[in-house]
Amino acid sequence: MQSEGIDSSKLEEIEKTATSKINTAPDNESLEEVRIGFLGRKGILTLALRSIGKLPPAQRPAIGNQINAIKQRINTLIEFRKNEIADGGGDEEPYPGDPSLPGRSCWEGGPHVLHKVLREIKAIFYGMGYSLAEGPEVELDYYNFEALNFPPEHPSRDTQDTFYVNRDILLRTQTSPVQVRYMEKHKPPLRIISPGRVYRNETPDPSHAAEFLQMEGLYVDKNVSLADLRNDVTYFVHALFGSNARVRFRPHFFPFTEPSAEVDMTCFACKGEGCPICQKTGWIEIMGAGMVHPNVFKYAGYAPDSVTGFAFGMGIDRIAMLKYGIDDIRRLLNNDIRFLSQFWNGPVSEVQD
C-alpha cells in the first residue's frame, strides 16, 4: 500500500461506486452527472491521476495504468447505458422478451476462394507424398535469379518486371527460389511444394495482377524422368478438375529447367470444342514445368550427374479462375462479399495452411 495519494484498493472501490451509479442512472442527464463526477476536470479519477506524483517512482506506472483502464471501462459502461436508455430499457428487466423463442444465429463467413483452392491443391499433393516448404517473400537477387540460372541480361531482371528494394534485394517474382534454399539444406530424395505470394511489376488487367499466389513443386531423386513429371501433373489435374480433363505438354523455355514445357488442359468452358475463352484452341495453359537444369543443381550443391529431378509452377489465382469460371483476376482481390460468398458452400478441406 502507498503511504500517500491513491492506492489500488481505493481505485477498486471508486470503480464499484461508478459502476453502480451508471447502471442505476434513470436518464441521460443523471448519466452526464456521473460522468462529470468521475471523469470531468475535477472528477474523482482525474484528481487521482494528478496525485500520482506523490507516490514513490516505482509505484507510479502501475497506478497510472490502473486509473486509465478504469476510465476506459467507465466510458464503455456509460455508452452502453445510453443505448439502453435510448431503447427504453432503463427500467426493464436485463433480458426482456420471450425466453422460449429460439436464439438468433450469427452471420457466418467462409474461406476466401483462393485459400479454398489452395487447401484442395495441398491435399492432393500431400496425398502424392509431397511435403510443404516455404521461403521469404523479400528475396535476394541471388536466389530469385542467379541460382536459378537466369543470365544477367534476362528481361525478367529488369525494373520494368521486378520490384527491387535495392540492387541485391527484391520482392520475389516466383516461388522457385524455395527450390535452391531447400536443396541447400536437404539431401535427396526430396519431394516438396512451396505455395506463397509473389510480385510482378505489371499493370493489373483481367488476366494479370501485380500480386498473386503461386505454387512451386519439386521432386529430386535418382532416375527421375519426364514421364514421372507427366504422371504427377496428370494425376493432379484429374484430381482437381475431374477425370475427363486432358493434359498436354508443349515445348517451352525456362532458364531453370531443361527440357521445359508449358502444360495445358482442356478448356473448362467448351470442354475442348473451342470457344472465345480458349481462343478457339480447346486448351488453356495451367502451369510451366520441366526437368531441373544441371546448373541449378550446382548452385544448390548437388552433383548433376548423380541426381535428376523435375519442377513445376502454377498460379493459384489462375487455377481458381479455371475451376470456378471466374473471368477477371481482379475480382479475387476486391473483397466483395457478394462475389466471395458464393464459394462458401460445401465442405472445406481440413488441411492446414
Residues 6+ apart with CB under 8 A from 118: 195, 213, 215, 316, 353
Please tell me whether residues 214 and 335 are part of one structural domain. Answer: yes
Q: In angstroms, rounded to a whole number, what is the distance separating the alpha carbons of residues 194 and 311? A: 11
Rounded percentage of the chain residues whose pLDDT exceeds 70: 92
Please tell me whether residues 119 and 67 are part of one structural domain. Answer: no
Residue 93 in domain: no
Mapping DSSP to helix (H, G, I), strand (E, B) and coil, where does residue 93 land?
coil
> In the structure grid, which three cell numbers stand for residue 297, read together?
543443381
Please tell me whether residues 145 and 79 are part of one structural domain. Answer: no
Residue 325 in domain: yes
Averaging pLDDT over each range in 85-89, 123-127, 339-343, which range is the top one?
A: 123-127
- Cα 15 to chain centroid, rounded: 42
Please tell me whether residues 173 and 305 are part of one structural domain. Answer: yes
| Residue 37 neighbours by CB distance under 10 Å | 15
pLDDT, residue 186, reads 95
Average pLDDT, the chain: 86
Residue 95 in domain: no
Q: In angstroms, rounded to a whole number, what is the distance separating the alpha carbons of residues 262 and 168? A: 30
Residue 108 in domain: no
187-243 pLDDT, tens digit per residue, is 999 999 999 999 998 888 877 788 899 999 999 999 999 999 999 999 999 999 888
Please tell me whether residues 37 and 126 are part of one structural domain. Answer: no
The region of weakest confidence among 12-21, 169-178, 276-285 is: 276-285
Please tell me whether residues 29 and 144 are part of one structural domain. Answer: no
pLDDT, residue 65, reads 87
299-340 pLDDT, tens digit per residue, is 999 999 999 999 999 999 989 988 888 888 888 888 888 888
Please tell me whether residues 66 and 135 are part of one structural domain. Answer: no
pLDDT, residue 348, reads 46
Kindly state the average pLDDT of the residues 289-298: 96
Q: Read off the CATH number of the domain in which 120 is found.
A: 3.30.930.10
What is the pLDDT confidence band of residue 166, given thresholds at 50, 70 and 90?
very high
Q: Structural domain tally of the chain? A: 2
Please tell me whether residues 227 and 271 are part of one structural domain. Answer: yes
Does the pTM surpass 0.75? The reply is no
Residue 125 has pLDDT above 60, yes or no: yes
Residue 173 in domain: yes
Please tell me whether residues 173 and 296 are part of one structural domain. Answer: yes
Please tell me whether residues 242 and 160 are part of one structural domain. Answer: yes
pLDDT, residue 48, reads 87
pLDDT, residue 334, reads 84
Please tell me whether residues 203 and 288 are part of one structural domain. Answer: yes
What is the residue range of 173's domain?
113-343
What is the pLDDT confidence band of residue 158, given thresholds at 50, 70 and 90?
confident
Backbone angles phi, psi at 241, to 5 degrees: -110, -10
pLDDT, residue 1, reads 35
pLDDT, residue 353, reads 52
Kindly state the average pLDDT of the residues 129-158: 90
pLDDT, residue 254, reads 92
pLDDT, residue 175, reads 95
Please tell me whether residues 263 and 197 are part of one structural domain. Answer: yes
| Residue 21 neighbours by CB distance under 10 Å | 19
Kindly state the average pLDDT of the residues 39-44: 88
The region of weakest confidence among 2-6, 36-40, 334-338 is: 2-6
- Write the DSSP string, 137-187: SEEEHHHHTGGGT--TT-GGGSTTT--BSSSSEEE-SSSTHHHHHHHHH-P
The region of weakest confidence among 27-36, 153-162, 188-197 is: 153-162
Place of cell 471501462: 73
Residue 103 in domain: no
Residue 104 in domain: no
